[in-house]
A and B are shown apart, each in its own frame.
Chain A
Amino acid sequence: MKILKTSLIFAGACFAHIALYAQAPGTDWINYQGNVEGFRFSPLTQVTKANAGRLQPLWSYQIDHTDKFEASPIVRGGIMYISEPPSDVTALETRSGKVLWKYRRVYPDNIPTCCGRVNRGVAILGDRIYIGTLDAHLVALDASSGNVVWDVEVADFHKGYTSTAAPMIVKDKVIIGSAGGEFGVRGYLAAYDAKTGKQAWRFWTVPNAGEPGSETWTGQSLKTGSATTWVTGSYDPALNTLYWGTGNPGPDWKGTSRLGDNLYSDSLIALDADTGKLKWHFQFTPHDVLDLDATQTPILVDANWKGKPRKLLLFANRNCFYYVLDRTTGEYLLGKEYVRQTWAEPNLSDKGKATWRPNTQPTEQGTVVYPNSPGATNYQAPAYSPNTKLHYVMTRDEGGVFYSGDDTYKAGSWFLAGRFVSKPGEEATGGVKAMDPMTGTPKWTFETGPSWSGVLATGGGLVFTAMADGDMIALDDSTGKLLWRYPMGGKVNADPISYIGADGKQQIAIASGHAIFAFGLRDTPPIN
């Protein structure tokens, strides 16, 4: 390992052929969450608890757009690939942050979007980069030039479909989710042949009439059932199973036209990665009327559960409950409130089903409920450290007032049937919680304010995230002690990553405001 580091540093110092293929494990960041098991953990150890206080900004790159910047980059062989909003792609050299190429897409006018013209990242396989686009296409780019290799329509954007999640690579397929849950679309998760762009399978997250699960909808409501898949999920290679969270049923805030549990909304779906066939599902929030998308990242760990080795799935949910499932069978193992909530009875059933409390449905006059619409956590990526065996989650505590309204559906138009506001007189709080999966309780909490930053854990014993005001911070992964802080000057809506840069040294990068910042340890002062 030492020889490898030395050679990397030498290469970075003088003449670097930036390899297009993977280096040693941990040097690159080639999946949205780092590994497909969803850890967002970098094994790199150059930056430690002892030296984190010396971290400095190395370079930054300003994006071309002013839309919200939610991307989590991919890095391979010293090149960083970022998606810029709405869904453009830029390749950067990680020693200098200089642009190597740009892919700039031409978009149709008036694409309906829920929550900004955003994108959360790209995927990489061989010599190709993959991106889902705002107009709901999947595009393959040549990794060395950004040239389009193929471009296929995944769904019709006129109906409200968009693609905002980073695709995931599984073997020879590109897995892509759907967004548009506020427009009454029918959600799906789809797989495309990475080489040709031909669709391999598509799993509809709302069943057709007559199919299993359709009995959980009334009338024609399943045609506008939403349940989109707008955050990248996880994959277990040994079980060849995809684990993906689904979003709210449509319309968001009125359920009288869709009585029933509304499967597979707000659920974890486990799919065969080759065929897209459903293996099992677990619904976290039945008959949701508070927009409690269960699209958070599942984390797949193997651990002893009550003395028996099991394949676990950890899930910190927007609905304020922390869950542990057996990912082979879907068996419910643990569910515990980890952020204040008033929508459900605090004790889940033996099977993990939540029971709605009375008087928590949105009304025309407004109903106060905890959490507010952003939930306990949202699209902020969580992290898991195999060293501490802790699950780090960015959380938010806030109440909301929910109103119900007209639920008329029109294709391509908002399908909310209500609205929400923050509970007057209260300010949202938030922080990183280091959850112990064995108990469903936090070992420590670090207050960040209501931040939209994800979390990264590293082999150096650090947890990186950003405060609500945009300060990048490093915490001790065991205690939550603050070790380093750098004001980036822009709020963070994205997730940190770590990798070996083209200079042969560990970097930590994150999007803040409308720029990417890369941090590292400098040997010499920056050149004036």
Chain B
Amino acid sequence: MRLPATFRRLILLTIACASVTFAQQGERLYKFHCAFCHGKGDDGMAANLVSPKLPHAPSDAALINIIKNGIPGSDMPASLGMTDAEIRQVATYVRALGRSAPQKVPGDATKGQAAFDKSCRSCHMAKGNGGVMGPDLSDIGLRRSPTNLKNSIVEPDANIVAGWSGVTVKTKDGKSVRGIKLNEDMLTIHVRTADGKIQSIAKSQTASIERAGAKSTMPSFKQLPAADLDNVIAYLFTLRGE
């Protein structure tokens, strides 16, 4: 049965209004619940959402699950105080962010890779090659925006990723072990050193434990010329886990 033209227009208008309302609701909820960490989507300290592909959320169902339950072992918490319908509205808005144009990256990725190989790879793995004193950056271009990457390089202390606390353990027999703390309890501390070895040290044998605390194990690269910094960011932005 064919509906009258006026009636069809009315239906389409109703659907369009509902969609706008749905998206606006999502934006409002996003600003309240998410923007503190994610900013406008691509300028926060948390994952970059201005991306068509989110590593932890390959499907809408996965995105809704993450918003609802968080990501265990990361800084992404479970939602608090949102209904299932509201979570779906936020997810819709996040997907809309993903369709936005990404930030422009002015640097040269090829030059940036050379700089990364020289200054960063000894601590950071990318595409299966590199050190283990810092996070694996193989898909950092999906997870972080250029703004966020720049901040992390210039001011690494401003945003230390969970699980990357630096520590220096001095033992009673005079040894010093510096690295990333993997575990610590009343009996033992486990440290991964720059050579990738894991040390298990009994607390009864430690003379002192120096903790980096709010200071990152990564040095600041604020002295890097602006063009070089742009090049490194351009390279990092190409790392998309592929």
Contacts and interface: CB of A to CB of B under 8 A. Distances in A.
Contact of A144 (B73, B183, B198, B201): B198
A157 B217 CA distance: 41
A20 B196 contact: yes
A142 B196 contact: yes
23 contacts: A15-B199, A15-B201, A15-B202, A20-B196, A20-B198, A93-B200, A96-B185, A96-B187, A98-B183, A98-B185, A98-B188, A100-B183, A106-B55, A106-B56, A106-B58, A109-B59, A142-B132, A144-B197, A147-B125, A147-B128, A147-B138, A148-B136, A150-B128
B192 A144 contact: yes
Nearest to B189: A98
Contacts of A140: 128
B183 A148 contact: no
Nearest to B72: A64
B198 A14 contact: no
Contacts of B56: 106
Interface string A398-436: 000000000000000000000000000000000000000
A377 to B, nearest CB: 36
Given A96-B187, A142-B125, 5 more contacts: A78-B200, A93-B198, A106-B56, A109-B61, A502-B200
A133 to B, nearest CB: 14
Given A17-B199, A140-B128, A147-B136, A96 B58 contact: no
B27 to A, nearest CB: 26
Interface string B165-176: 000000101010
B205 A15 contact: yes
B128 A148 contact: yes
A102 interface: yes
Nearest to A13: B202
Interface string B13-25: 0000000000000
A99 B72 contact: no
B107 to A, nearest CB: 25
A255 B175 CA distance: 69
A20 B198 CA distance: 8
A127 B187 contact: no
Interface string A84-111: 0000000001011011111010101100
A109 B56 CA distance: 12
A148 to B, nearest CB: 6
Contact of A18 (B128, B138, B197, B205): B197
A67 to B, nearest CB: 15
Interface in B35-65: 55-56, 58-59, 61-62
Given A96-B187, A101-B182, A145 B125 contact: yes
Contacts of B183: 93, 96, 98-100
Interface of B: 55-56, 58-59, 61-62, 72-73, 125, 128-129, 132, 136, 138, 171, 173, 175, 182-183, 185, 187-188, 190, 192, 196-202, 204-205
B189 to A, nearest CB: 10
A100 B179 CA distance: 13
A100 B72 CA distance: 16
Contacts of B138: 147-148
A145 B136 contact: yes
A147 B171 contact: no
A24 B187 CA distance: 27
A18 B200 contact: yes
A64 B199 CA distance: 25
B199 to A, nearest CB: 6
A109 B63 CA distance: 11
Contacts of B59: 108-109
Interface string A132-161: 000000001011110111100000000000
A79 interface: yes
A172 B164 CA distance: 33
Contacts of B72: 64
A16 interface: yes
Contacts of B62: 106, 109
Nearest to B136: A147
Given A93-B183, A147-B125, A100 B196 contact: no
A104 B73 CA distance: 10
B58 to A, nearest CB: 6
A98 B201 CA distance: 13
A527 interface: yes
B198 A79 contact: yes
A102 B185 CA distance: 18
Nearest to B57: A106
Q: Which of B128, B132, B175, B201 has the most chain A CB within a 10 Å cutoff?
A: B128
B196 A127 contact: yes
Interface in A35-91: 64, 78-79
Nearest to A11: B200
Contacts of A527: 187
Given A108-B59, A144-B192, A95 B128 contact: no
A145 B132 CA distance: 6
Contacts of B204: 14
Given A93-B200, A98-B183, A15 B192 contact: no
The 3 closest A-B pairs by CB, nearest first: A149-B128, A144-B196, A145-B132
Q: Which of B56, B190, B201, B205 has the most chain A CB within a 10 Å cutoff?
A: B190
Contacts of B125: 142, 145, 147
A167 B201 CA distance: 32
Contacts of B175: 15
A95 B204 CA distance: 15
Nearest to A503: B200
B190 A100 contact: yes
Contacts of A102: 73
Contacts of B61: 109
B188 A96 contact: yes
A101 B198 CA distance: 11
B229 to A, nearest CB: 25
Nearest to A108: B58
A285 B85 CA distance: 54
Contact of A145 (B188, B192, B201, B205): B192
A137 to B, nearest CB: 13
Contacts of A99: 182-183
Nearest to B192: A144
Contacts of A127: 196
Given A106-B55, A145-B125, A16 B200 contact: yes
Contacts of B201: 15-16
Nearest to A20: B197
B128 A145 contact: no
Contacts of B192: 100, 144-145
A150 B125 CA distance: 12
B196 A145 contact: yes
B171 A15 contact: yes
A19 B132 CA distance: 16
